[in-house]
Structure 1
Amino acid sequence: MSEILSQSEIDALLDALNTGEVDVEEIQDDTKEKKIKKYDFKSPKKLAKDQLRTLHIIHDNYSRLLNTFLSGYLRSYVQIEVLSVEELSYYEFSNSISNPAMLSIVDLNPLPGQMLYEISTGLSFCIIDRILGGDGNYQGEIRSFTEIEITILTKMLRQIIKLFIEPWENVIELSPKVDKIETNSQFAQIVSPNETVALITLKAKIGEIEGLINICIPHIVLEPILPKLSTKFWFSTSSNNKKITPEEKVILEKRIKKADLNVIAELAQTNITVEEFLNLQIGDIISLGKEVDEQLDIKISDKFKFKGSPGTKKNKYAIKLTQVIEKGDDNYDE
């Protein structure tokens, strides 16, 4: 912060200017400062801001796909977003990796070289716990991964790596493939320590557990497509994307038809006071205000869509659809 002059100092400066003791031009020359920006010649910047911004856009799309996939795969609340995209040396990245670690070495065909995909240890154990039927709130100590746990994560990693294809399609048609899994960063040296890399960090939250996903792409891998890593090129190609074909529409319809929907047959609704609730005993009867032979409301994902009558089929409770609620009906839910 610049020094603040007192009123007496201001008056003295004005008097000096009036008498000619101080020249205005001399003051202006003294206040001029050269703007110098430090530059490290040992690690020159190889990626422009526009290229880093394009990588941010690409992986922002990837994070949305990953969010959708993991939500269904783990059947849990998942929230993933891009935290940062930066350029640094591979030594700085590898030096920050803790052991044990979940590192996936990925071939980015047809690009040369490999990239590194790291999932933080706490997040990895949370994913394993969810896959094996737990609640995902892993609070145990950080330890080495077992062979079974590595196999489980490898199967999942092969699927989430394939999600790179769509976000990168405006730049290049990738065929990513998991080469191998490492749990020690010393055995995951994909480039020399001084090599420049682009590090994309995703912030992930699965249930109550938070962690980071790091995507390390060396400069030598990106070098063939650097001219295409500009927001101008990316938006121009994305705006010219072809319309959906009939074949793609059929595939999309098939996938939608396989989606799971929650069906609820609602017997009835009623209200009781808190006092009545507190005094409930075994054998008490609550009147639902509905006739025994009256049709039940059937909801699809909380939307009232059908009416039906209860019954059994093969010794299991069942409900028979008797009416479809169409548009225009008083009880129709949009």
Structure 2
Amino acid sequence: MSEILSQSEIDALLEALNTGDVDVQEIKEETKEKKIKKYDFKSPKKLAKDQLRTLHIIHENYSRILNTFLSGYLRSYIQIEVLSVEELSYYEFSNSISNPAMLSIVDFNPLPGQMIMEVSTSLAFCIIDRILGGNGNYQGEIRSFTEIELTILNKIVRQIIKLLIEPWENVIELSPKLDKIETNSQFAQIVSPNETVALITLKAKISEVEGLINICIPHIVLEPILPKLSTKFWFSTNTNKTITDEEKNMLQKRLKKANIELSAIIANTTITVEEFLNLQVGDVISLNKNINEQLEIKVGNKIKFLGTPGSMKNKYAIKITKVFEKGDEEYDE
């Protein structure tokens, strides 16, 4: 839009000024007006939007892993998603916690300090109910946890915390460890009230019960890895990279140390349950294989070799006579 007025517009403006329809003072005040942004010096912002976005991505991955784990563990319909990621003071977080609460205090090794995972009491009682064989639709009153209930929660929280390792692996190699579970927020003062924290809120639904899972990570814990909490760093570490020969050799060495089950099948047969129940010492069972036939040797549940039985240094042994390769008719896929 052009800032140059036409002659007719200039005449209309002069006429409006003369009649008093337009106030010159108001025009001056509008031009002098500046945009002001509020800033609270009591709680300065220490986390950039980019870093909060990265925390959102990390915990989106965590919510998917947690969803899969709890679905199998509780044998119930589970739905977990990230509701919000925000920066606030620890006082605001602790002040919003109701009593009784379920607060898991976690050592965020190797990072300094601790973090808190708060699970709403409705979800906690639902989990306990499912583990003890109920349908999970806990309708009882919200009360303090018993010693048995805390023991059950302690066990499952330890497994839930281990699931944090994978989502964080692109930023840091974590070794989180559960320190204790508190039911009163007054005994869960891990940092000073004015300390800045990142609060990740997950919305969880177990069967018909809904609740929140809050993960509170103090700024002092995140400070050593703040440079890595940027989307640029995140996506650069997620790009496909060429595997070096050294990495290939290391992988081969580790694979060679893996333990696998090897079994030689001498023979098999079929008998009735009655015959099985009436077996006595000295009975002879007729098998489906001749003594001179080669034995099948399985790796896992696949036939990979043939061999002949024997002994070596007073121990039973088997000599491999044939190795099946892909393409052989006998090769067991």
Query: With structure 2 as the length reference, what TM-score do the two structures score?
Result: 0.67
Q: Deviations for 1:197-244, whole angstroms, at most 9, x for unmatched residues?
A: 000000000010000000000000000000110001011011146779
| Alignment partners' CA distance in 2, 1:17 and 1:149 | 82
The offset of 1:16, in angstroms, is 6.1
Query: With structure 1 as the length reference, what TM-score do the two structures score?
Result: 0.67
Structure 1 residue identity aligned to 2:30: T
| Alignment partners' CA distance in 1, 2:134 and 2:255 | 37
Are the equivalent residues in 1 in contact too, given 2:90–2:192 (CA < 8 A)?
yes
Q: Is 1:29 aligned with 2:28?
A: yes
Aligned to 1:56: 56
Aligned to 1:45: 45
- Higher Cα Rg: structure 1 or 2? 2
Distance 1:99 1:249, change over 3 A: farther
Structure 1 residue identity aligned to 2:29: D
**Partner-residue secondary structure (3-state), 1:41:** coil
Structure 1 residue identity aligned to 2:66: L
Give aligned-pair identity as a percent.
78
Aligned to 1:183: 183
The offset of 1:59, in angstroms, is 0.5
Q: Which runs of 5+ in 1 are unaligned?
A: 1-13, 255-312, 316-334
Are the equivalent residues in 1 in contact too, given 2:17–2:23 (CA < 8 A)?
no
Aligned to 2:318: none
**Partner-residue secondary structure (3-state), 1:44:** coil
| Mapping for residues 157-176 of structure 1, pairs under 5 Å | 157-176=157-176
| Alignment partners' CA distance in 2, 1:41 and 1:178 | 34
Aligned to 2:69: 69
**Partner-residue secondary structure (3-state), 2:164:** helix
| Alignment partners' CA distance in 2, 1:19 and 1:129 | 77
Q: Deviations for 1:68-104, whole angstroms, at most 9, x for unmatched residues?
A: 0000000001000000000000011001111111111
| Alignment partners' CA distance in 1, 2:212 and 2:104 | 14
**Partner-residue secondary structure (3-state), 1:167:** coil
Aligned to 1:227: 227
Are the equivalent residues in 2 in contact too, given 1:99–1:185 (CA < 8 A)?
yes
| Alignment partners' CA distance in 1, 2:273 and 2:34 | 87
Q: Deviations for 1:137-183, whole angstroms, at most 9, x for unmatched residues?
A: 00100000001100001100000100111111111100000011111
Distance 1:247 1:215, change over 3 A: farther
| Alignment partners' CA distance in 2, 1:242 and 1:183 | 49
The offset of 1:246, in angstroms, is 6.8
Are the equivalent residues in 1 in contact too, given 2:17–2:24 (CA < 8 A)?
no
| Alignment partners' CA distance in 2, 1:88 and 1:143 | 29
Are the equivalent residues in 1 in contact too, given 2:161–2:176 (CA < 8 A)?
yes
Aligned-CA RMSD value: 2.7
Aligned to 1:154: 154
Structure 2 residue identity aligned to 1:17: L
The offset of 1:120, in angstroms, is 0.3
Are the equivalent residues in 2 in contact too, given 1:88–1:197 (CA < 8 A)?
yes
| Alignment partners' CA distance in 2, 1:194 and 1:27 | 43
Q: Which runs of 5+ in 2 are unaligned?
A: 1-10, 261-271, 275-333
Are the equivalent residues in 2 in contact too, given 1:17–1:24 (CA < 8 A)?
no
**Partner-residue secondary structure (3-state), 2:149:** helix
Q: Is 1:123 aligned with 2:123?
A: yes
Q: Is 1:201 aligned with 2:201?
A: yes
Q: Deviations for 1:261-310, whole angstroms, at most 9, x for unmatched residues?
A: xxxxxxxxxxxxxxxxxxxxxxxxxxxxxxxxxxxxxxxxxxxxxxxxxx
Q: Deviations for 1:36-73, whole angstroms, at most 9, x for unmatched residues?
A: 11111111110000000000000010000000000000
| Alignment partners' CA distance in 2, 1:242 and 1:170 | 17
Distance 1:314 1:218, change over 3 A: farther
Distance 1:38 1:240, change over 3 A: same
**Partner-residue secondary structure (3-state), 1:109:** coil
| Alignment partners' CA distance in 2, 1:153 and 1:113 | 23
Aligned to 1:106: 106
**Partner-residue secondary structure (3-state), 1:175:** coil
Are the equivalent residues in 1 in contact too, given 2:84–2:201 (CA < 8 A)?
yes
**Partner-residue secondary structure (3-state), 1:42:** coil
**Partner-residue secondary structure (3-state), 2:178:** strand
Structure 1 residue identity aligned to 2:236: S
Structure 2 residue identity aligned to 1:166: E
Structure 2 residue identity aligned to 1:97: I
Distance 1:121 1:29, change over 3 A: same
Matched residue pairs, number? Answer: 242
